[in-house]
Amino acid sequence: MKPLAHSRLEPGVFTLDGTPIAAPKGTPDEALRTCYQALAMDYPKFHKMDPLAKLAVLVAEPVLRVARERGADLAGSTAVLALGSSGCLASDVEHWRVRQATGLASPAVFVYTLPNIGVGELTIRHGMHGPSLCLMTEEPDTAEARMAARLLRRDPRVRWLVCLWTDIFADRFEARAVLYGPEDPWTDPAHPTALFPSTP
């Protein structure tokens, strides 16, 4: 089963269905800024986000543009499955660093110390009210993640499904996004065999 669209974002690579969007280089912050500019997003809130939220919003942007082109109802009938291993660890470490250094804490940092906040930012940007599930997994394509995707598709409200893998900590970052449409009901437990395509 092939997704309708898939994007990949990692050092040197930002593609939609294998076609380059940008070539992000440098630190994660520099690389993510390059991707933001390449997408011409004009979304000032982006600059206030933590690294995980930026990564989620960026990698999802191309596939959600495809979804809109295909007539998807992002507000009511699109679900999000968010997967990650490190989650919000970058913000966790920063929150604790500030706490130890100053005896206080930063509200702007603390609000990002939950793994699902990137999905929250995504739902705000695209006005998505449907279900979203945030699972912490060692790898992007586990049997548990595929089961969760099938279950989200069982929700009678859901016709479109976006699956995200976002992982960022220190100098490493990696993200994938896929869009599945309403054509395949996914009732067969053998499907999908993979959430994220192995090819670029």
Partner 1 sequence: MNGPILLGAPGCVTPLGASLEESFAAMHAGHCGLRPEPFPGSEAPVHVGRCDEAVLTGGGRRAQRLLGAAVRQSMGGLARSLRTLPRTAWVLATTKGDVRALEEGRPGDAELPRFASRAGIALDLPGAPIVVSNACISGTLAIQLAADMVRYGEMDHVLVTGLDEATDFVLSGFHCLHAIASGPCRPFDDARDGISLGEAAASLVVTRDAGLFRHGPIATYLGGAMGNDANHISGPSRTGEGLVRAVDAALQQAGLTAAAVTHVNAHGTGSVYNDGMEHIAFSRLGLGHAPVNSYKGYFGHTLGAAGLVETLLAVHGLRQGLMLRSLGATCSATLPGIDVLHTHRPTAGRTLLKTSSGFGGCNAAILLRA
- Which residues of the chain form contacts with partner 1 (CB under 8 A)? 75, 85-87, 89, 92-93, 95-96, 99, 103-107, 110-117, 119-121, 123-124, 126-138, 142-144, 147-148, 150-151, 154-157, 189
Residue 183, judged by CB atoms within 10 A of its CB (0-12, 13-18, 19+), counts as exposed
Residue 130 or 192 with smaller CB distance to partner 1: 130
| Shortest reach from residue 29's CB to partner 1, in Å | 19
| Shortest reach from residue 137's CB to partner 1, in Å | 6
| Shortest reach from residue 20's CB to partner 1, in Å | 31
Under 8 Å CB-to-CB from 184, ≥6 apart: which residues?
1, 191
Q: How far apart are CA 186 and CA 81, in angstroms?
A: 15
Residue 19 or 193 with smaller CB distance to partner 1: 193
Cβ-contact 60, 165 below 8 angstroms: no
Residue 117 or 179 with smaller CB distance to partner 1: 117
Residue 16 or 164 with smaller CB distance to partner 1: 164
Q: How far apart are CA 132 and CA 16, in angstroms?
A: 23
Residue 21 or 162 with smaller CB distance to partner 1: 162
Q: How many CA atoms lie within 13 A of 126 on its CB side?
A: 30
Helical ranges in 104-185 per DSSP H: 107-110, 117-126, 143-154
| Shortest reach from residue 118's CB to partner 1, in Å | 8
Residue 37, judged by CB atoms within 10 A of its CB (0-12, 13-18, 19+), counts as exposed
Residue 24 or 120 with smaller CB distance to partner 1: 120
Residue of 49, 182, 188 whose CA lies nearest to 120: 49
Cβ-contact 145, 194 below 8 angstroms: no
